Amino acid sequence: MRATTVAIEDPGPLERFLPESGPSTAFLRRGEGFVGLGEVARFETDRLEAADVWWDEISDQIDHDSEMLGEFGTGPIAVGTFTFDPDRSEERSVLTVPEVVIGRRGGLAWITKLGPARVDAALPAVGEPVRVPKGLTTVGGSMAEDVWTAKVGKVVDLIRRGDVHKVVLARDLIARAEEPLDLRHLLRELMASYPMTWAYLVDGMIGATPELLVRREGGLVTSRVLAGTVWSDDEAADPLRLATRLAGSRKDVSEHEFAVESVAQALAPYCNAMNVPEAPSVLKLPNVMHLATDITGVVDGDASALTLAAALHPSAAVCGTPTHLALDVISELESLDRSRYAGPVGWVDTQGDGEWAIALRGGQVRPETPNQIQLFAGAGIVADSSPESELAETAAKFVPMLQALGLLAG
């Protein structure tokens, strides 16, 4: 397979190149990142490790001709969305190799095309006009709210007995439209309202997540760990007071510490230098605030971004501590196939560089039900958790997608 990468003039908003149907992908933040059009190869699997091996083999077969060698993110890439727990999901994980990638980063723009022979590097036509969803309604989720809060109560009991320290419990919500959903509309809305997040679209999985599982750029790795949340239903609430409340909340700080420790421990074997800030900062989003820690490190060896994502997943930000016990509690009590929610979503290049976010604040549209989207949100439960407050927290985490769908005012 041949790949050609050329520098191009700024192509404007990248998302306008996405077609309404057919395989397409996006991973965008503050106008940077890429859109991927078409598909030259696809791997469906239930294991991150298998995808890593597959991409290694494909990478070796690509003959890449580039004007931009060494520029992060340029060149052929594989884009993926992985299930949270392959042993307990009906959904498949997918790694797809786009035929055309249009990207922008740090003032540079490029196009990469893949094919059997060297191809011209002209920009494709922009996509069809975007359709706004019509006749949307929510039709509930797998579990009634009071059943979910009762489960949170059970988890709190288990934690207080000392069986497990933290468990992230999730719930879902289904929204249905009169016509097939145009995911490009959701992507645009999410990008406009939540520019500080990573907006993703891969194989019907769409959302805008604030949490970066891992980024590898050359020898450097970064992970943005989030856990611990505060929100307010009162628009006039003072953000400084909310942030102070969050930073001083023993419950949220302990929830956050479990998450940081899980990432630091999983990353340590791959790094020969690592920096873990002692105290978290507060990340402010339009709907919630989170405790945030950016861990950085220098990679020792050639572990790819996908290898690192496999090692870090599932972190205690989306699973719990200890991992295997939290996974058992989730499978026993959550009564939900998490599908790709809370799994890694992102991209990797032929050098092993890439970015894998955690698929939060999003939902899945499936080919057999194109009018429908299943939304997911979860909350970290620790010894001091209150079931009602955790339910309200998940409601606050549904807000970005409900706004993008037009089910809530922005």
Ligand X SMILES: C=C(O[C@H]1C=CC=C(C(=O)O)[C@@H]1O)C(=O)O
Candidate ranges 100-108, 144-152, 222-230, 293-301; the one touching ligand X (CB under 6 A): 222-230
Answer for which of 189, 211, 334, 353 binds ligand X (CB under 6 A) is 211
> d(Cα 141, Cα 169) in Å, to the nearest integer?
14
Q: What Rg do the C-alpha atoms of the chain give, in angstroms?
A: 21
Task: Decide: is 378 part of the binding site for ligand X (CB under 6 A).
Answer: yes
Active site residue 71: no
Answer for which of 397, 401, 402, 405 binds ligand X (CB under 6 A) is 397
Q: Which is nearer to ligand X, 100 or 381 (CB)?
A: 381
- Tokens representing 194 are 């939540």
Candidate ranges 119-127, 190-198, 227-235, 324-332; the one touching ligand X (CB under 6 A): 227-235
Minimum Å distance from CB 131 to ligand X? Answer: 27
Task: Decide: is 227 part of the binding site for ligand X (CB under 6 A).
Answer: yes
Query: Binding marks (x or -) toward ligand X, 267..296, rule CB under 6 A?
Result: -----------------------x------
The helix or strand, by DSSP H or E, that contains position 328, with its residue range, turns out to be: helix 323-333
- Hey, is 91 helix, strand or coil? coil
Task: Decide: is 190 part of the binding site for ligand X (CB under 6 A).
Answer: no
**In this structure, are residues 341 and 170 in contact, taking their beta carbons and an 8 Å threshold?**
yes
Which of the residues 211, 255, 334, 393 is marked catalytic?
Answer: 211
Local structure of residue 351 (DSSP, 8 states):
T
**In this structure, are residues 46 and 83 in contact, taking their beta carbons and an 8 Å threshold?**
yes
Minimum Å distance from CB 175 to ligand X? Answer: 16
Which of the residues 166, 189, 257, 355 is marked catalytic?
Answer: 166
Nearest to 27 by CA among 349, 290, 302, 295: 349
> d(Cα 322, Cα 331) in Å, to the nearest integer?
14
Q: How many CB atoms lie within 10 A of CB 137?
A: 10
Task: Decide: is 377 part of the binding site for ligand X (CB under 6 A).
Answer: yes
Q: How many CB atoms lie within 10 A of CB 6?
A: 17
Q: How many CB atoms lie within 10 A of CB 221?
A: 22
> d(Cα 258, Cα 173) in Å, to the nearest integer?
27
Q: 372 — phi, psi (to 5°)?
A: -125, 145
Task: Decide: is 156 part of the binding site for ligand X (CB under 6 A).
Answer: no
Task: Decide: is 340 part of the binding site for ligand X (CB under 6 A).
Answer: no
Task: Decide: is 317 part of the binding site for ligand X (CB under 6 A).
Answer: yes
Task: Decide: is 229 part of the binding site for ligand X (CB under 6 A).
Answer: yes
Answer for which of 379, 396, 404, 405 binds ligand X (CB under 6 A) is 379
Active site residue 211: yes
Residues marked as catalytic: 166, 211
Contact positions toward ligand X, by CB under 6 A? 168, 170, 211, 226-229, 255, 290, 317-318, 360-361, 377-380, 397
